[in-house]
Structure 1
Amino acid sequence: MTTKAATTVTSATSGWSLLLTLARRHRVRMAALALTAFVGAMLEAAFLVLLTTTLLAVAGGENQITAPGRVSLSLWTALTLAATAVILRFVLAVLAVRLAATMSAKVRYAQRIELAHAYLYTAWEVQQAEPSGRLQELLTSFVGRVNMAVTAATQAVTAALSLVAFLAASLVIQPVAALAVLSILALLGAILTPLRGRIRARAATTNRADLAFASNVAEFGALPLEMHVFGVQRPIAERVSELTRTATDNQRRVQLLSGLLTPTYTLFVYAAILGAVILLSRIGTDDMAGVGSVMLLMLRSMTFGQQITNVSGIISAAIPSVQLLDATVAKYRAQAANTGRAQPPALTPLVLDAVSFAYAPDRQALDAVSLTVTAGSATGVIGPSGAGKSSLAHLLLGLRRPARGLVTVAGVDLADIDRAWWTSRVAFVPQQPQLFTGTVAENIRFFREGISEQDLHRAAAAANVLQDIQSLPQGFDTHLGERGSQLSGGQRQRISIARALAGSPELVVLDEPTSALDPESEALIRTSLAGLHGDIALVVVAHRMTTLDLCDTLVVMHDGKITAAGTRAELQRSSEFYRRALELAGVS
């Protein structure tokens, strides 16, 4: 799914409802946070009222104050209660901070786990279609924005309850002034709604720009050799600058719109308080302690109102990220890798029966292909680029499903096979070996349980790489650096073959395993494959004819079809492509 399509999907689900769903997962902490905020605000309001009335009493030379509810208190009693309220307010504030921090950490953890697991268990063709850098950007920046939105939502809840507490106290003390301010605030909320809508729209544009930036930078980062050889640093730098400029400009606009919320809010709140003062001056009042308390409460409540306004801007900016993340997880889960329950008695015969496959309606990759792989056989697949060889390998591995025809394992549809059973018996060696940052043993074992030290040595010996490993400083425990950078291309390829053999597979598919290797490395790999002949079913996709010497049967592909199949002698008689390939390779 493209970014544009993903954005279209997000419109079906309200960002606010998604935030509420996230909040419900932490409803106990949210409830505790809300209660803490409300009680803390009531304590702060009580402190401000007691402080105001005490100061007015001191200024008037009085020894008693009249608290709300017509309760008479001595000055020392009032001050003691005020101090107690401040201390309790601080304790509750610390508790609220701890609750908010814990919930924020749990949201970030849960979002990353949910997204990562959904991606890992989705079908391989979905993973392959994802742009470079997309998952990383989603797991970092986008999860960060979701976490920011949830954090902002918790702040909004605490600020809103604090504001309610202060307004309630104001209504009790001086209802006329409090109602005047509330009316202005209600008008303010209506005025700011369109601005928040513009923030959401601009944030959605920013998301698309950020994903494009991440994808392009990931692609450029994978091309350092080509960049230096062709001397294209300048145009690539200009392209990165253009992408950066687009992403940065969108972020600037979101920040600008978000920043307008606070001064707009402040203007209207001060206008509300000023209006309340004008109203009181017209109608008159003899309750100066009450008026003073209300003004102080209103000024303090402005802080909570500002906080609500600020976080509403943050939430509006983050909602498109929340929606995109939710839509992406839903897409991954809807296209989970297929698995069945059947466990045939054997992996072979593996049969492709009139199989057709297309990447798109106008991109036919395979057309009515039939092939049988038997136990211990070695099948070579040759043909020009774009003939469908890799697509054939993907179907044999069960990574893709045919549009028409059937792939069967000992007579059972591959779609009905238990995936764990299947993957424990099948292995793959790609053209470009993919090693990760870790030790030799970790790369050969490749996260699989049950592979012993003896299995590692056996696989390394079969792949003709054991001697190379033993010559390393710590042998199998040697750290290979980032993506195996300390090994040569031939060593990485043989490590890849050892990885395939470590699990004792019944079938190994090799896609151009020697195309980028020197003659010595190729000879070592040919020796490795020859040693497997008869014990493991091999399917070798190759351009180099020498790599196919061990194969019992050769298959020639062209335009997604098998045009010839048979032994080398048979193909020399029946296939012009094969004869031409032998001639170009200098093989008689």
Structure 2
Amino acid sequence: MRILGIGPERPIRGQSALRSLVSEYKGQVALLASLSFIGALLEALFLFILTGVAMAMVSGRSSVGPYVGHSLAINSALMFAALLLLVRLGLNLAGVRTSAHLTADVTRDQRRLLSHAYLNSTWAIQAAEPAGRLQELLTSFVGRLSNAVSTLTGAVTALLSLGAFLATGLAIDAASTAAVLVALALVGAVLSPVRRRIRDRAGESAQAGLQFANAVSELGSLGQEMQTFGVQAPFGDRIDKLSNETTATQRRVQVLSGALPLIYMTLAYGAVLVGVAVLAFVGFDDLAVLGAVILLMLRSLSYGQQLAAAWGALASNAPFLDHVGDTIARYQAARADGGQAIPAHVAPLEAHDVEFAYTAERPALTGVTFGIGAGEVVGVIGPSGAGKSTLAQLLLGLRSPTKGRMCVGGTDLRDVDRSWWSRRVSFVAQDALLITGTVSENIRFFRDGIDDNALRVAARQANVLSDIESLPLGFDTHLGERGSQLSGGQRQRLSIARALVGQPELLVLDEPTSALDGRSEALIRTTLAQLRGQITVVIIAHRMSTLDICDRILVIEGGRLSALGTPKSLQEDSEFYRSALAIAGITHGGET
């Protein structure tokens, strides 16, 4: 599904999206509306009675009214007004609590919906997302969405309160109240272009915010390179430029949003002023009624100002609502659904004339056919950009072939049950990424049912057990943020323990020793050699020394399988293999 662009050139549907969203919480909205309307009626009645008491005291009368054919003593009227005030306070507090619960529920539910839609989408969708996009959506964008809901609840309160005051005014004096009501409607129509302008500027602000988050995330990941090349100042200039662009759009939105209620209030006061002038011209002489109407109308204007401010805020949040909704729809449309087939085993693992292309003009793999048996250790080599990592993703089922089939145990991988498949495959990336937590949390990696003995077995297999036991608290040692307390070799071996603890049938390693020292590489090679015959292992490597444990090696060149055979046979059959051995300084006997 295409994400709709954010900007003035495209339609904004945020307000209808907000109505659709809030409809899911109609019970809370109905309760809030009832509390607001009843509270506003009580406030209007309080002001009406208070005006009557003031007029009675000025005229020297001892009673107020008549109201519905009955008069009230001033003391009784004051006590009744006080009771109305207390009841209104209770209703308002209940409304505040309801509004807070509604906003919190929307925030929680939208974050859950967005994050789960992303997590359940295909790897192709996730890999294509710019760095920092999900974080920005879950924080700033959902925050704006929550703000919109809070604003809407405030608008509901203001609208119903305004309705209650106007209804009271109509009951007191229909003609003058109707005139003010028409004037307010005209004011709202006059301000319509301002609201459209706010929506347009808000669209620009939303786009600028996403670009800023993506750029900062990218620059933040290059800290080591920044320090090494001494480019802190250019980094700072780049961030400053992006920040200036983002804040400029925010400033324009805030100016327009802030001006909207001020313009509204000025025009509305002007409408009341005209109404009073008209009453003075025609000779209206009922001071009690006139005072009550003016007081109610002036109080109504404050609710009208709240509505104007809410209109501006909703307009500024509309693009963010659109983007969140469109993104969720895009994630859900690309859900990583698997089939229901459950093969007996993962092996044999076969590729039948597999082709994969990221774009129609640039195929990454073409006509790849091979088979890998159970317990076999197979290496994959080739020049950079030949398609090795793409092949790894196809083997793991993260991507599906554009043409051809990947089969496991004789079944097309696209038809295999995903939960069954996930329990039987593991992956070790080139960069060992750990979570902020303990050793055991990193090895378990959110998988329930893995006991402490399994942790020790996997750590021993990965040749990292002695390193773990030397830590202050062993498996319970906290490794700092993203495993910062471990060396690169230790992190990589811990990643291998994570991969092995689930007892997989297939283990895919993407250049696992490319950035390691000789000792760490030797330990990992020992681990992989011990796995031969137990599980099927596929090693994608640039270091030729890593491949001396392989039963067979696939050579990928230009997206095609140029050779497949044992290390010995490839010395005769593959020019690339012979050249790679020579560059690595490895003789035909396998020694450096």
The TM-score bracket by the shorter chain reads over 0.9
* Matched AA of 2:147: M
Instruction: Confirm whether residue 98 of structure 1 aligns to residue 97 of structure 2.
Output: yes
Preserved contact between residue 10 and residue 324 of structure 1 (Cα < 8 Å): no
CA distance in 1, matches of 2:270, 2:25: 38
- Name the SS of the counterpart of 1:516 in structure 2: coil
Of 393-402 and 19-28, the range deviating more from structure 2: 19-28
CA distance in 1, matches of 2:448, 2:243: 43
CA distance in 2, matches of 1:107, 1:200: 22
What does 1:348-497 correspond to in 2, within 5 Å?
348-497=347-496
CA distance in 2, matches of 1:82, 1:578: 94
| CA-to-aligned-CA distance 1:283-321 (integer Å, 9 cap, x gap) | 122321010001011111111111111111111000110
Preserved contact between residue 8 and residue 201 of structure 2 (Cα < 8 Å): no
CA distance in 2, matches of 1:250, 1:10: 16
CA distance in 2, matches of 1:287, 1:520: 99
- Name the SS of the counterpart of 2:435 in structure 1: coil
- Name the SS of the counterpart of 2:191 in structure 1: helix
Deviation at 1:14, TM superposition (A): 2.5
Deviation at 1:67, TM superposition (A): 4.3
Deviation at 1:80, TM superposition (A): 1.3
Change over 3 Å in CA distance of 1:283–1:381 after alignment to 2: same
Aligned counterpart, 1:182: 181
Instruction: Confirm whether residue 39 of structure 1 aligns to residue 23 of structure 2.
Output: no
Change over 3 Å in CA distance of 1:209–1:486 after alignment to 2: same
Change over 3 Å in CA distance of 1:9–1:136 after alignment to 2: farther
Deviation at 1:410, TM superposition (A): 1.4
* Matched AA of 1:322: L
Deviation at 1:6, TM superposition (A): 5.0
Structure 1: which 5+ runs fail to align?
none
Aligned counterpart, 1:311: 310
CA distance in 1, matches of 2:586, 2:2: 47
CA distance in 1, matches of 2:8, 2:82: 54
CA distance in 2, matches of 1:22, 1:564: 56
Change over 3 Å in CA distance of 1:6–1:342 after alignment to 2: farther
- Name the SS of the counterpart of 1:59 in structure 2: helix
| CA-to-aligned-CA distance 1:493-526 (integer Å, 9 cap, x gap) | 0000000000000010000000000001000000
Change over 3 Å in CA distance of 1:67–1:373 after alignment to 2: farther
- Name the SS of the counterpart of 1:372 in structure 2: strand
CA distance in 2, matches of 1:278, 1:297: 17
Change over 3 Å in CA distance of 1:10–1:530 after alignment to 2: farther
* Matched AA of 1:406: R
* Matched AA of 1:266: M
Aligned positions, number: 587
Instruction: Confirm whether residue 21 of structure 1 aligns to residue 28 of structure 2.
Output: no
| CA-to-aligned-CA distance 1:303-354 (integer Å, 9 cap, x gap) | 1111111111111000110010000000000001131110011111111100
Aligned counterpart, 2:520: 521
CA distance in 2, matches of 1:206, 1:7: 9
Deviation at 1:7, TM superposition (A): 3.8
Deviation at 1:584, TM superposition (A): 1.1
CA distance in 2, matches of 1:6, 1:551: 50
- Name the SS of the counterpart of 2:448 in structure 1: coil
CA distance in 1, matches of 2:12, 2:426: 41
Aligned counterpart, 2:529: 530
* Matched AA of 1:554: I
Instruction: Confirm whether residue 128 of structure 1 aligns to residue 135 of structure 2.
Output: no
CA distance in 1, matches of 2:66, 2:435: 70
What does 1:145-156 correspond to in 2, within 5 Å?
145-156=144-155
- Name the SS of the counterpart of 2:549 in structure 1: coil
What does 1:44-55 correspond to in 2, within 5 Å?
44-55=43-54
Deviation at 1:362, TM superposition (A): 2.0
TM-score (norm 1): 0.98
Instruction: Confirm whether residue 171 of structure 1 aligns to residue 170 of structure 2.
Output: yes
- Name the SS of the counterpart of 1:549 in structure 2: helix
Of 208-217 and 178-187, the range deviating more from structure 2: 178-187
Deviation at 1:115, TM superposition (A): 0.3
Change over 3 Å in CA distance of 1:550–1:185 after alignment to 2: same
CA distance in 2, matches of 1:170, 1:9: 41
What does 1:171-210 correspond to in 2, within 5 Å?
171-210=170-209
Preserved contact between residue 379 and residue 538 of structure 1 (Cα < 8 Å): yes
Aligned counterpart, 2:229: 230
Instruction: Confirm whether residue 301 of structure 1 aligns to residue 300 of structure 2.
Output: yes
Deviation at 1:11, TM superposition (A): 5.8
CA distance in 2, matches of 1:175, 1:272: 16
Deviation at 1:282, TM superposition (A): 1.4
Preserved contact between residue 48 and residue 293 of structure 1 (Cα < 8 Å): yes
CA distance in 1, matches of 2:371, 2:542: 21
* Matched AA of 1:78: A
CA distance in 1, matches of 2:93, 2:411: 63
Deviation at 1:569, TM superposition (A): 1.4
Of 269-278 and 9-18, the range deviating more from structure 2: 9-18
Preserved contact between residue 426 and residue 508 of structure 1 (Cα < 8 Å): yes
TM-score (norm 2): 0.97
CA distance in 1, matches of 2:554, 2:420: 28
Change over 3 Å in CA distance of 1:2–1:525 after alignment to 2: farther
Preserved contact between residue 155 and residue 306 of structure 2 (Cα < 8 Å): yes
Preserved contact between residue 111 and residue 143 of structure 1 (Cα < 8 Å): yes
- Name the SS of the counterpart of 1:125 in structure 2: helix
* Matched AA of 2:145: V
Preserved contact between residue 6 and residue 328 of structure 1 (Cα < 8 Å): no
* Matched AA of 2:510: D
CA distance in 1, matches of 2:391, 2:90: 67
Preserved contact between residue 12 and residue 199 of structure 2 (Cα < 8 Å): no
| CA-to-aligned-CA distance 1:126-159 (integer Å, 9 cap, x gap) | 0011000000000000000000001111110110
* Matched AA of 2:306: Q
| CA-to-aligned-CA distance 1:142-178 (integer Å, 9 cap, x gap) | 0000000011111101100000110111111122221
Preserved contact between residue 10 and residue 327 of structure 1 (Cα < 8 Å): no
Change over 3 Å in CA distance of 1:36–1:262 after alignment to 2: same
Deviation at 1:401, TM superposition (A): 0.5
* Matched AA of 1:512: E
Instruction: Confirm whether residue 324 of structure 1 aligns to residue 327 of structure 2.
Output: no
Preserved contact between residue 352 and residue 368 of structure 2 (Cα < 8 Å): yes
Deviation at 1:13, TM superposition (A): 7.4
Of 64-73 and 299-308, the range deviating more from structure 2: 64-73
Preserved contact between residue 6 and residue 206 of structure 2 (Cα < 8 Å): no
Identity of aligned residues (%): 51
* Matched AA of 1:258: S
Change over 3 Å in CA distance of 1:116–1:441 after alignment to 2: same
| CA-to-aligned-CA distance 1:43-94 (integer Å, 9 cap, x gap) | 1111101111111111111111114434311111111111111011111111
| CA-to-aligned-CA distance 1:193-212 (integer Å, 9 cap, x gap) | 11111111111111110000
| CA-to-aligned-CA distance 1:376-424 (integer Å, 9 cap, x gap) | 0010111110011001110000000100001111111100100000010
* Matched AA of 2:268: V
What does 1:497-576 correspond to in 2, within 5 Å?
497-576=496-575
Preserved contact between residue 506 and residue 535 of structure 2 (Cα < 8 Å): yes
Preserved contact between residue 355 and residue 406 of structure 1 (Cα < 8 Å): yes
* Matched AA of 1:89: R
CA distance in 1, matches of 2:372, 2:6: 44
CA distance in 1, matches of 2:475, 2:6: 47
